[in-house]
């Protein structure tokens, strides 16, 4: 008499995992993996206060001899993005600290900046159909919502900058990643108005969605954009803003494009956020993110 053996059924599913790395170069358009960094410098495994699926969307600021990096942690328990903090003394080796901002809705793309000796964050809050400004009450771990800058649309990746005594914000429509809006205001918490040429880009997912901080360099402005044409967040390009007034906008592609593209095992299928900072003459350091494809295996009897 034969005894039937239980056979395990093996299932697998594909998963895209984002992680964070450090790049450097002689310009913000010529960046390579930092030779002293072990990329990725931050992954989901570094998150200690929750179970994370991935980390992404890094932005950093240098204050008091230390680097502070803010980034998205996608919580495995509720599939909701939260904003976390890591610190570094040299910009190369990073220590995860904690989640510093969470809401009942998804948060990502934590654009950090300083104005009038105050620290501000503008994380993506598209589920609220608004762009919200957060202010530090105790930098870098305590934040409160200071106001709503834009509403009525599901904006993603709001990117703020100051130019000609005005504040400006690029945003993208969440649906399709193919529409770029521009608003401006005289005051950070004042009345924001949409530019008469907005949407600046419509129906082009290869150049519409912001990918990082707008740079002001040598009297010129540059914006980064992620290519979402074929897959979400495939690579990063840059454009020089050649004209920006309350009535006119023009830009042109920089010749160095693409600025970031898939390369190694940790970022072999995409890159979509960059935050470069000048640390010396012809020396730049940047936090970036990248995604890889992995497979999760499960066996059932």
What pLDDT digit, counting tens, does each position of 53-105 carry? 999 999 999 999 999 999 999 999 999 999 999 999 999 999 999 999 999 99
148 in any annotated domain: yes
4 in any annotated domain: no
Residue 294 has pLDDT above 80, yes or no: no
- CA dist., res. 67 & res. 59, Å (int): 10
286 in any annotated domain: yes
Is 110 within 8 Å of 57 (Cβ atoms)? yes
CATH number at residue 225: 2.115.10.20
SS3 265: helix
289 in any annotated domain: yes
Confidence of residue 219 (pLDDT cuts 50, 70, 90): very high
pTM: 0.93
- CA dist., res. 112 & res. 107, Å (int): 13
212 in any annotated domain: yes
122 in any annotated domain: yes
**Degrees (nearest 5) of the Cα angle 95, 61, 77?**
50
pLDDT of residue 265: 87
pLDDT digits (tens, 9 = 90+) for 91-140: 999 999 999 999 999 999 999 999 999 999 999 999 999 999 999 999 99
pLDDT of residue 293: 83
54 in any annotated domain: yes
Q: What are phi and psi of 174, to 5 degrees?
A: -65, -35
SS3 19: strand
pLDDT digits (tens, 9 = 90+) for 17-59: 999 999 999 999 999 999 999 999 999 999 999 999 999 999 9
pLDDT of residue 264: 83
**Which structural domain, as residue segments, surrounds residue 250?**
9-300
3 in any annotated domain: no
pLDDT digits (tens, 9 = 90+) for 2-21: 444 454 555 455 677 999 99
Per the structure, how many domains does the chain have?
Answer: 1
């Amino acid at each position: 008499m034969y005894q039937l053996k239980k056979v395990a059924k093996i299932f697998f599913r594909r998963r895209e995992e984002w992680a964070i790395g450090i790049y450097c170069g002689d310009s913000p358009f010529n960046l390579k993996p930092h030779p002293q960094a072990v990329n990725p410098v931050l992954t989901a495994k570094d998150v200690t206060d929750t179970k994370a699926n991935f980390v992404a969307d890094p932005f950093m600021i240098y204050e008091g001899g230390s680097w502070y990096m803010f980034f998205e942690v996608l919580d495995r328990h509720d599939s909701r993005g939260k904003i976390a903090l890591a610190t570094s003394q040299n910009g190369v080796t990073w220590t995860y600290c904690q989640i510093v901002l969470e809401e009942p809705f998804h948060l990502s793309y934590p654009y950090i900046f300083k104005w009038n000796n105050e620290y501000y964050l503008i994380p993506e809050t598209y589920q609220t159909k608004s762009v919200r400004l957060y202010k530090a009450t105790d930098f870098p771990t305590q934040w409160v919502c200071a106001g709503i800058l834009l509403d009525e649309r599901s904006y993603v990746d709001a990117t703020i900058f100051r130019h000609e005594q005005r504040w400006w914000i690029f945003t993208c429509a969440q649906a399709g990643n193919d529409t770029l809006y521009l608003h401006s205001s005289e005051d950070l918490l004042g009345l924001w108005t949409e530019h008469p040429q907005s949407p600046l880009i419509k129906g082009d997912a290869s150049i519409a969605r912001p990918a990082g901080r707008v740079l002001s360099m040598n009297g010129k402005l540059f914006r980064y954009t992620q290519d979402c044409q074929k897959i979400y967040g495939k690579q990063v390009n840059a454009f020089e803003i050649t004209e920006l007034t309350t009535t006119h906008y023009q830009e042109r592609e920089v010749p160095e494009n693409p600025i970031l593209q898939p390369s190694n095992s940790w970022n072999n299928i995409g890159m979509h956020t960059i935050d470069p900072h000048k640390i010396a003459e012809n020396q730049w350091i940047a936090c970036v993110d990248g995604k890889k494809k992995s497979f999760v295996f499960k066996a059932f009897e």
